[in-house]
Amino acid sequence: MTQNKQYSLRGFSSERLVLESEKRNTLIQEHVSRYEYATKYISGKKILDIACGSGYGSALLINHGALRVTGIDISEEALRYAKNHYRYKGLEYLQGNAENIKIDGPIDTVVSFETIEHLQNPDLFLKEIVRLLAKDGQFIASTPVRSFGTIKTQPANPHHLREWSEEEFKELLGQYFRKIQIGGQYWFKKKWYPYSRRIQQMFFKMRYPEDALTISRLPVIFEPPSYNGFAFSMAYIIAICSNKR
C-alpha cells in the first residue's frame, strides 16, 4: 500500500493527510474509510481522536452523531490547520503527546489511526487509553501490517519505528484489553513485477466493474475479499478493543 508522502503545508509531518491538497483518491479513501467505520461506535458519545492531524477525521465524527469530539495532535501547525478548516459545535482540538495525554476520562470511544507505529513507547500509549476509557468504552486503532522481517526490523517507511504482524499486534493489545476484534483493510497482493498492484487493479475493474468501486474504497472488513483470479492481502490492521465483562 502506498504510504503518505509530502503535502503542501510547511512543517506538516509527511504522514498527515490533507484532504484539500491530496490528489491520490485511493489514499484518501484508505484514510476516510477508517473514520467511516468508527462512526458505528460514536452516536451520542464523547470521542477522543488521538493524532487527529489536519482534523478531517474529527470533523467526520462530529458530523456523524458524536456528542463531543476532542482531537489531539502533537503538531501545533496541524492543529492550526484543523481549527481553520474544521470548526463545528462540539469539536475541539488540543495539543498533546499520545504517550502522556493531559486530559481526564471517562471517554466513550477513543480512535487513533496510524499512530502507534510512530511512538517510542507504545505501552505508555496503551496505558493512557485504558486510563481514559469508560468501563464499557471502545478503543479503535489501525496500524500497517508488517510485510517482512521481525518486530525489530526497521520498517521501509522511515517515519515508522516498528510495525507488527496481525498476530503480534493482537498479542500486544491483549495485554491491555479483554476483548479484541481484528478486521482489516485489504489491497491487491503485491507481486514480483513492477506496478503489480496497479495492473491488478486495472484488470479487476475490467472483470468486476460493479465491485471495483467498493474495493478501491478499502473498507474495513473481517474477511479478505474473494474473487477468482485475484489475491488480496491485509494492508492495515483495524482493532476494536474493550474491557467489557
Each domain of the chain, given as residue ranges in start order, spans 25-242
pLDDT of residue 19: 66
pLDDT at position 60 is: 96
Q: Which long-range contacts (CB under 8 A, 24 or more apart) does 218-222 make?
A: 218/26, 218/29, 218/30, 218/33, 218/185, 218/186, 218/187, 219/33, 219/37, 219/185, 220/33, 220/34, 220/37, 220/183, 220/184, 220/185, 221/183, 221/184, 221/185, 221/186, 222/181, 222/182, 222/183, 222/184
Give me the pLDDT at residue 97, please.
93
Q: How far apart are CA 238 and CA 226, in angstroms?
A: 19
The per-residue pLDDT for 139 is 98
Alpha carbon dihedral 140, 75, 27, 58, in 10-degree steps, equals 50
The whole model's pTM is what?
0.89
What is the predicted pLDDT for the residue at 29? 75
Say how far apart CA 118 and CA 15 lie, in whole Å: 10
Task: List the one residue out of 122, 28, 32, 17 whose CA is nearest residue 75.
Answer: 17
Cell numbers 464499557 correspond to what residue?
A: 136
Cα distance between residue 233 and residue 165, in whole Å = 12
What pLDDT sits at residue 30? Answer: 83
CATH topology of domain 25-242: Rossmann fold (3.40.50)
pLDDT single digits (tens) 194-240: 999 999 999 999 999 999 999 999 999 999 999 999 999 999 999 99
Question: Which neighbouring-strand residues pair with 139?
Answer: 110, 241
pLDDT less than 70: residues of the chain = 1-15, 18-27
pLDDT for the residue 1: 34
pLDDT for residue 236 = 95
Backbone angles phi, psi at 85, to 5 degrees: -110, -25
